Structure 1
Amino acid sequence: MDERKRTDEETAEPAVLEDDGELTTGAEADDEPAVEDGVSEASAEAGIAELVEAEREREAEEAAVAEAEEALEREEPKDAEPVAEPEPLAAKPAAKAKTAKPRKAAAPSRRLAVLGSPIQHSQSPALHRAAYEALGLDWSYEAVEVTEDGLADFVQDLGPEWRGLSLTMPLKKAVLPLLAESDRYAEQTGGANTVLLDGDSLRGFNTDVVGIVRALQAAGLEEARYVHILGGGATAASALVAAAELGAERVDVHVRDLTRAGWIEPLANDLGLRVRIRPFSQADRSLDVPDLVISTLPGGTQTEAVYTDSTRRRSLLFDVAYEPWPTALARQWEAVGGRVVSGLAMLAHQALLQVRIFVSGDPLQPLPDEPDVLSAMLDAVGIDEQGAPLEV
């Protein structure tokens, strides 16, 4: 039974589905594609082609993903993964130190100096350095030994990094022919203690006058009608102008050599002052007690000027010298309880004006946070706001 059924199935002609849905058999189907297991060869080939194409697309996608991952790995630093690894962490501070080192070694943006001979005792470097540090300026300030004969060559050799100079005697007068312009006080006194290098020209200033006035005002002396001045040099000229600024009407100037004091009277007349020029030995021969005695004598100088105890108790002594301290006159005043102002006070206040000039070019332009700057300068030379030595 089974054998017969299988024979019949093998001899029977297969049926083919026509486009119109009807079945044909036998020779009618000879022109149609062969079919195996109910699927035509064309359909099978198309299916295989689709599978091959799908496989190719999958392989292409995988290759694209692999290429993208490789590109990403190439862009990232190889040591970025271990954040806590010691080598990358150590490399960063090293790089910072490398960039910071040139800033420390770099030359100051401005150079300044005080010139004179002798100059080793000068307190100007301490004052100016304290000021520039308080202002946050990386400026240098040094003391340089320069004689009157060498001043012109020294100034001529200065480079563009130089901003200004402070001058002591005997350079205050020697510098005048080198200046393109001078302020009023330099013209009145015939000396400049400050030089501003303004491009190719030199501008001269005298800050001693205002330095004296400000130091005395800080000590509580607002005016002085009658003044004694000891000495006949360049600082005495500044003291004479300062006396006029304080409202003086009469000034007695005591000098060692009367023949070298011819400049005093013309200047006093220009300032509207009545002046008497006398030798040291007649310093305290007047019945009138001066409000102020200004000594412009160098430190350690012995003088014939002798003041009574009464005068020393009632007059304020301003001694421009500060090395050595106390001077002989200062000791005489202190012995009877008299008031004394050290020359360091004048030096600090005139230096403050110099700093104004070097920073802004204008002695009338206050500095940023100027009270703090002045306080730093006073501390640097060991005096208080009134010019008295600080207690150690």
Structure 2
Amino acid sequence: MSALIKNNKILQGTILITGVAGFIGSYLAERLFESITDIRIIGIDNMNDYYDVSLKEERLQSLITNKNFTFVRGSISDSHLVNSVFKEYTPNIVVNLAAQAGVRYSIINPNSYIEANLVGFVNILEACRHSYDNDKKGVEHLIYASSSSVYGSNRKVPYSTEDKVDNPVSLYAATKKSNELLAYSYSNLYGIPVTGLRFFTVYGPKGRPDMAYFSFTKKMIEREKIQIFNNGDMYRDFTYIDDIITGIVAIMQKKPDINSDGVAYKLYNIGNNKPESLMHFVEVLEQELKREGLIDDPVEKEFLPMQPGDVYQTYANIDDLIKDFNFKPTTTIEEGLQQFIKWYKQYYIK
């Protein structure tokens, strides 16, 4: 898929990617190296054990052999580490993807969300702010990950970045909304050009094992019963990883325009603009597992009520993405899950 590289000059400096061993971070670094020759990437990741660390190490393998890649192991919640990285490498573009993810886990372990998503993000903002000290050129563009979770229980669809998002239904969503407020205030106070990205249910090969499609796959292959919440009556704007990366790369090349308040700040939804029912998603997953010869029998399903923190539907309005970048995700559920199952078979089935 095209990376939508239109302004090579902007991307030829030093790019800092936090959460570089994560699902989106590793794909982004790979795409940038594939698309641009004169680029240097600094990657930070704490390699925590929220899920299987060996998968994070697998994602890093294709990066660490590149002479233009520098890996820093550590947490963005460590202000000394963050400041030292900014001082040594002076990135001109920062892509902050490091975060504690997961809606349900935020109920179990709230402190990890405060540390990574709030303390860590403030450290990044502070480092960006001080990159301009002593009249230095500093950070030209900060891009950070938000989430469709900020829309909470909003009933108006599709979700627009103009909608009010003052009613988060999970701590994870609350931290992401807080990121947006903090980013706006720093952009306003210190003139940092900032773009926030609300991702919608990202999936694909080398994805996060805590995601539903991952656990469904494992249980289906092991002939275990899968649990489907809200009796299957849920909809998600599933977005394939390649589409997400194409959107990020396009956005990296364009600093936000000054808005009516005089602030260089912008928010975008990146979603497939086509919510799929959870039941259809499960059916396609089952179909692809059969195609690859990984299952034969029908999958046993247990239907359960809605879980705390879950939302009924996600659905992205991507009009701004289309208008500003002439880009719209195009990968279908069938295409995306086919690629995921092929990878899963190769990686996990020995």
Assess same fold via TM > 0.5: no
Report the TM-score range of the alignment, normalised by the length of the smaller protein.
0.3 to 0.5
TM-score by length of 2: 0.35
Q: Which has the higher contact order (CA 8 A, sep 6+)?
A: 2
Structure 1 length as normaliser, TM-score?
A: 0.32
